[in-house]
Structures are given as structure tokens and as C-alpha cells.
Amino acid sequence: MKQKALFIINPKSGTQQKWHLRELIEKHISKDLFDFNIEFTQYAKHAKTIAAQAVEDKIDVVVIAGGDGSINEVASSLIHTDVAMGIIPMGSGNGLARHLGLSLNPLKAVKKINSSKKILIDSCKINNEVFVSAAGVGFDGLVAHEFSKHKKRGVMKYILVSSQKFFGYQPKHYEVEVDGKQIKTDAFMVVVANSQQFGSGLKIAPQADLQDGLMHCCILKPFNIVAGTSLLYNGFAGKLKTNKFYELLDCKEVKIKATENSLWQKDGEPMLYNQPEVHFKINPKSLWMWV
């Protein structure tokens, strides 16, 4: 029996042109396996609206062609439904796609849809908003806010922005509660991760498992310039756990108190939370993926 699929294409994500995707999808998606339609997003948050309608229409698979921000929009509409989310990675970073081992080549990613299967993964919440990969405060929040100001996208631009801000960034003070454990610390950033890595390829939580029912609270403590070079190497090599400036706590619930007007990010998108405490919680086995 054929599956009903909907392909959502965000034409503004990443650096690659997206209009050729319609042709790739129409040519390479199996007509024996799928009845499918294709829609392009037209404005911010449109992917979320389209995905919500797909649930109402009893679509089996919603495939998003975009980046982590677009994936977040679609996922937020598919949580706790039977509709699976597929990904054609077309963003600047593609952190979740990298964790899942998906090809960043559009043709290979399209063809993979034909042989994929459903798996059930965890998602998380930050103040009742869904995130799938990672959310946090501090340096990663600053980079998300700075990156959003640039019209030119892509992973190289992301790395450039990060590099420009890295060594001059001043740590902030945070009060963190991890499954009831109180931690007061200065930190370069505090990240709560569900998947392994940021879109840049830096593995902030290299041991993360999307199906283990746990989040991973990653605290990067203040460091000097020499240590910063080592941290970058460890991060891209997946060896942060060996670095003395990095602390990892597996958990199900996190509360973070930060200074007013702190910069946050959620799946790479810039966020502002002006309340004194921000709450993270695991949402186990809540999202079907088509991978």
C-alpha cells in the first residue's frame, strides 16, 4: 500500500538553490511507494503551518528540505502524532541530519527516502517550546543572534562568525539545576543537547543518543586562549569529554537562571527569554523519524 508523503521546501535556507529539488523529487521518488505533493514555504514559520495541516490530512511522511530551524518548525507540529518526519539537508549547518548520518548531497538524500524506515526518537522542550537538537545560552546564543543578521548563509559563514566572536567572548554567571543538583558557575556557554552536534560539526555532546530518554547538559567553563585552541580541536574531534573545561551531566530536567537579556538559541535559531528561569525537559519517544 502506498504511503502519502508531503515534501516541504524552504527556498531560503542554506546557500544552495532549491528550485531544482522539485525536479529531483519528481524524478527519483518511487511512484510505486509514494503518492506525494510538494510545497514551498512562503514566509517565516510557514513550514510549521504546512506540517500541522499534513497531520489533519493524515499524511504518512512529511519531508522537510531545509536546515535545523525548518526542521524545528516541522517537528513541533508532528510531536506525538503518527506522522514521520524525513529530512533533505539543505541548511547552513544540518546538525540533526549529520547526527542521523544523512547525506548532505541532495540527490542522495532524495533517493534515500525510498529505502528509509520509521524510528521513534526523543525530543525536548525549552519553556514548552520544542527543540530536537540542542538549545542553550551564552556563546552559542550569541553566534545564533549574530548569524541571523547576515544575508549570506552556509556553514563556512557560520564558522567565520563563530571564530570572530570566540576568543573575545566574556563568560557569564549561571545558576543551573540538573535533576535537582544545584550548580553555580561562570560559563562560556551552557547547552542542553538531545543530538550530538551543532550544525558547524562541533560535537557538543558526542555520546548523545536520540533514543535514550536523556538530555545532556554541557557546561563549558572559562578558559584561556591556549585552552581555547584545545577546546576547538576536542570539539570537532568528538573528544570534549576529555577536556578539563567541559562538564557533562546526563539528565531529564534542567533549569537555568541567567542574567537579564541573555542570548539563547533553540536548534540554531536566536531566542530571548526574559523570565528569570528557563526550564528544559526531555520528551521521550515523541517524534517519528523517516531515516
pLDDT band at 160 (very low <50, low <70, confident <90, very high): confident
The domain made up of 129-284 has a fold known as Tumour Suppressor Smad4 (2.60.200)
Locate the domains of the chain by residue range. 3-116, 129-284
Q: Which DSSP state fits 110?
A: H
> Are 217 and 176 within 8 A, CB to CB?
yes
C-alpha cell at 24: 529531483
- Residue scoring higher pLDDT (153 or 5): 5
User: Could you say which of 3.40.120.10, 3.40.50.300, 3.40.50.10330, 3.30.530.20 is the CATH number of the domain covering 3-116?
Assistant: 3.40.50.10330
What pTM value is reported for the model?
0.92
pLDDT at 202: 86
DSSP letters along 260-281, please? TT-EEEETTEEEE--SSEEEEE
**Mean pLDDT across 113-122:** 98
> Are 209 and 282 within 8 A, CB to CB?
no
pLDDT at 36: 98
